[in-house]
A and B are shown apart, each in its own frame.
Chain A
């Protein structure tokens, strides 16, 4: 089990550019979550999917943010256009359904995004 894989590990971009973050969940996991971590706001839930379908995107801050899950093994989080206030660590996490021994989240290593 390779765990949740995120890429890139670090991303530095200029304001106005498009940024795409990628995530491969653990095989067989039903749920995929995207979080943003900042000092001020902690870990914020942006969006989560169940069986590739978005369930709740109420945490997506603006229309500049979009997320997709075209299949069970891949998801993207896109920011277009990016702004300096988007600088943060973005985590992807996956999980089985909770009835499976109170399945916890398994996190990727995160992408540190810096927008200059």
Chain B
């Protein structure tokens, strides 16, 4: 069975600085999909970025980018120029070949003004 691990329960970053959230996963599949979601205090789940495992190029969305290392089974999220609105829980997610989607336990990100 696949698992997703986020080893950092909490992180803090100074406003305007860069922060990287880590995510590793365990799988025997070669074809899968990865996501990062953000959950602000409103409880809403918001898609941040997505990556297909067959694509070697790292996905980027404005200030958000990933470092996808397939061999290492690592999928970290980099947030550049951190803003106060980035403060939230961040979840890494894995979608398997049979479309099961599982999440890590999350990393709470604090932005320091």
Contacts and interface: CB of A to CB of B under 8 A. Distances in A.
Interface in A49-74: 50, 55-56
Interface in A75-109: 89, 91, 93, 95, 97-98, 102, 104-105, 107, 109
B112 interface: no
A43 B106 contact: yes
Contacts of B102: 45
Interface in B95-113: 95, 98-106
B50 A56 contact: no
Contacts of A43: 91, 103, 105-106
Interface in B28-56: 33, 35, 37, 43-45, 47, 50-52
Contacts, number: 55
B47 A42 contact: no
Where chain B touches its partner, the secondary structure class is strand
A109 B100 contact: no
Nearest to B43: A110
Contacts of A89: 43
B44 A41 contact: no
A43 to B, nearest CB: 4
B33 A98 contact: yes
Contact of B44 (A31, A35, A42, A107): A107
B93 interface: yes
Given A33-B101, A42-B106, A55-B98, 10 more contacts: A42-B105, A43-B103, A43-B106, A45-B102, A48-B101, A55-B100, A56-B98, A98-B33, A104-B35, A105-B47
* CB-CB nearest 3 A-B residue pairs: A42-B105, A107-B45, A43-B103
